[in-house]
């Protein structure tokens, strides 16, 4: 978007009649590094091209921007209300970059803009902070959770110490940090963040507000990670009922709640009910999001697991392969979610005593997890335990390893 704005201003500059405002905005882009590489030469030439614009005009703008640290006015208006009511879905820039194979290019651009814009407006300016947030989203989408954590902690510290931002913005950063902690297997820290946010949102916004329901759903997932399955099911039903009431049964957030509830039911051995709920989530996501969307692929993977636990191995393998092929295409072969699909397919072959096929996939998953998540992550420990268990089975049966 920033690059598009700068390009439009450059095209307009070449016209015969160009307003003072457009020329000033283009000079601003060159001086700040907004949407383009910072270029003092082009900045000076742009100012010289219009005799009624001076360096002082631009300096006055920068002084105003440095004082303007509060969110734009529209965030407290009608648009924000519609957003909170679920009428808009956030655009996933990370997925778009992946689809266009531009993730590395986008990351380099974000890093450059954080540095250049921060040097002009200040490290704690809201624009610089928002760029860091988007950069961390890109890191999370690539499974680089440790890098994302480091950046998120930096954002949060700046908000508390320098900017003193409004409660909603600070809690948005906490919400993202809680998700990072969960993916890193630091569930106690994630639970602490989510519980605090849920209680605050419930008190200030109400029990049926979308922000509160999001906290409820996230906390349910954390309870599941901690093995608190009954509490997790209770929280998931609360999130699902609330989403159905506020957003409707076909909304993507409602389908996420249905998918999460299916996982909770599976964890308690309620496989038929879990399969039914999982198919509801999958069918809905295919219609609303498309067959290659990451959330749809998550539903495919979840359904594969439920079919496997019921002994429906042929159908489970079909679903597992669909999830793996889709994730390799969208995320790449080394992404943690792709490796999870490799791991689950290995476990399916292990269950069927297809040891050679399982061994190849177990080793691929273990090596990949070690590289992306680190050797101490709970997922790699679990994968290694399953692989060791299979080796013992083979030895006890006199099979060659």
- How far is the C-alpha of 307 from the C-alpha of 352, rounded, in Å? 13
The residues near 374 (Cβ < 8 Å, ≥ 6 apart) are 146, 380
Read off the pLDDT of each residue in 22-35 and give the average, rounded to a whole number. Answer: 66
Residue-wise pLDDT for 140-161, tens only, equals 777 777 888 788 777 777 765 5
Residue-wise pLDDT for 258-298, tens only, equals 999 999 999 899 999 999 999 999 999 999 999 999 999 99
Query: Which of 50-64, 119-133, 351-365 has maximum average pLDDT?
Result: 351-365
Contact 34, 28 (CB under 8 A): yes
Selected residue with higher pLDDT from 192 and 126? 192
Going by the DSSP 8-state scheme, the letter that residue 162 receives in this structure is I
Q: Which percentage of the chain shows pLDDT scores above 90?
A: 33
Q: Which domain holds residue 20?
A: 2-67
Within a domain: 212: no
- How far is the C-alpha of 372 from the C-alpha of 364, rounded, in Å? 12
- How far is the C-alpha of 32 from the C-alpha of 17, rounded, in Å? 25
Going by the DSSP 8-state scheme, the letter that residue 35 receives in this structure is S
- When divided into structural domains, the chain yields a total of 2
Q: Is the pLDDT of residue 166 over 70?
A: no
Choose the final residue of a domain: 17, 39, 67.
67
Residue-wise pLDDT for 316-360, tens only, equals 999 999 999 999 998 889 899 999 999 999 999 999 999 999 999
Choose the final residue of a domain: 11, 43, 67.
67
Within a domain: 77: no
Contact 171, 177 (CB under 8 A): no
Within a domain: 237: no
Within a domain: 267: no
pLDDT at 163: 45
Confidence of residue 221 (pLDDT cuts 50, 70, 90): confident
Q: Cα 308 vs. chain centroid, distance in angstroms?
A: 28
Q: Is the pLDDT of residue 244 over 90?
A: yes
- The structure's pTM equals 0.64
Cβ count near 177 (within 10 Å): 20
Choose the final residue of a domain: 67, 92, 107.
67
Structure token pair of residue 12: 């307009």
Q: At which residue do the structure tokens 């997922």 appear?
A: 379
Within a domain: 322: no
Within a domain: 341: yes
For residues 126-153, one letter each, b for 16 or more C-beta atoms within 10 angstroms of the residue's C-beta and e for the rest, the string is bbbbebbbbbbbbbbbbbbbebbbebbe
pLDDT at 108: 82
Structure token pair of residue 91: 């655009």
Going by the DSSP 8-state scheme, the letter that residue 76 receives in this structure is G
Within a domain: 12: yes
Helix and strand element counts for the chain (H, E) = 20, 0
Angstrom CA distances, 218 to 172, 191, 212, stand at 13, 9, 10
| Mean pLDDT over the full length of the chain | 79
Residue-wise pLDDT for 354-385, tens only, equals 999 999 999 999 999 988 888 888 888 899 99
Within a domain: 193: no
Structure token pair of residue 6: 């700068």
Q: Which segment of 46-55, 62-71, 186-195, 279-288 scores lowest on mean pLDDT?
A: 62-71
pLDDT at 4: 54
Read off the pLDDT of each residue in 232-258 and give the average, rounded to a whole number. Answer: 92
- How far is the C-alpha of 153 from the C-alpha of 330, rounded, in Å? 28
Residue-wise pLDDT for 91-115, tens only, equals 566 666 666 667 777 888 888 888 8
Where helices occur in 247-312 by DSSP H, the ranges are 252-267, 271-288, 294-309
């Amino acid at each position: 978007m920033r690059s598009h704005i700068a390009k439009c201003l450059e095209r307009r500059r070449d016209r015969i009649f160009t307003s003072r405002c457009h020329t000033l905005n283009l000079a601003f882009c060159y001086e700040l590094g907004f949407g383009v590489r910072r270029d003092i030469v082009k900045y000076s030439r742009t100012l010289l091209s219009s005799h009624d614009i001076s360096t002082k005009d631009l300096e006055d703008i920068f002084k105003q921007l440095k004082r303007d640290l509060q969110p734009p006015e529209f965030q407290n208006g009608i648009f924000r209300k519609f957003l909170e009511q679920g009428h808009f879905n956030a655009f996933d820039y990370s997925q778009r970059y992946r689809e266009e194979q531009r993730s590395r290019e986008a990351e380099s651009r974000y890093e450059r803009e954080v540095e250049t814009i921060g040097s002009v407006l200040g490290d704690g300016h809201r624009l610089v902070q928002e760029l860091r947030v988007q950069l961390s989203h890109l890191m999370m989408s690539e499974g680089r959770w440790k890098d994302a954590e480091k950046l998120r902690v930096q954002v949060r510290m700046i908000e508390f110490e320098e900017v003193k931002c409004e409660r909603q913005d600070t809690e948005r950063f906490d919400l993202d940090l809680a998700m990072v902690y969960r993916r890193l297997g630091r569930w106690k820290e994630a639970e602490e963040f989510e519980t605090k946010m849920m209680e605050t949102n419930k008190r200030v916004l109400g029990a049926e507000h979308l922000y509160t329901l999001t906290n409820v759903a996230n906390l349910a997932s954390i309870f599941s990670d901690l093995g608190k399955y009954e509490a997790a099911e209770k929280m998931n039903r609360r999130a699902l009922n609330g989403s159905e009431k506020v957003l409707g049964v076909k909304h993507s957030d409602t389908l996420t709640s249905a998918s999460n509830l299916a996982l909770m039911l599976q964890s308690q051995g309620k496989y038929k009910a879990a399969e039914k709920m999982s198919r509801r989530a999958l069918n809905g996501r295919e219609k609303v999001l498309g067959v290659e969307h990451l959330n749809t692929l998550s539903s495919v993977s979840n359904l594969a697991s439920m079919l496997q636990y019921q002994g429906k191995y042929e159908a489970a393998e079909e679903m597992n392969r669909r999830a793996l092929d889709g994730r390799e295409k969208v995320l790449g072969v080394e992404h943690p979610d792709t490796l999870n699909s490799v791991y689950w397919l290995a476990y399916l072959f292990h269950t069927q005593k297809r040891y050679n096929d399982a061994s190849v996939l177990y080793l691929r998953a273990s090596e990949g997890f070690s590289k992306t998540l680190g050797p101490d992550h709970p997922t790699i420990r679990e994968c290694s335990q399953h692989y060791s268990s299979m080796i013992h089975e083979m030895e006890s049966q006199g099979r060659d390893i």
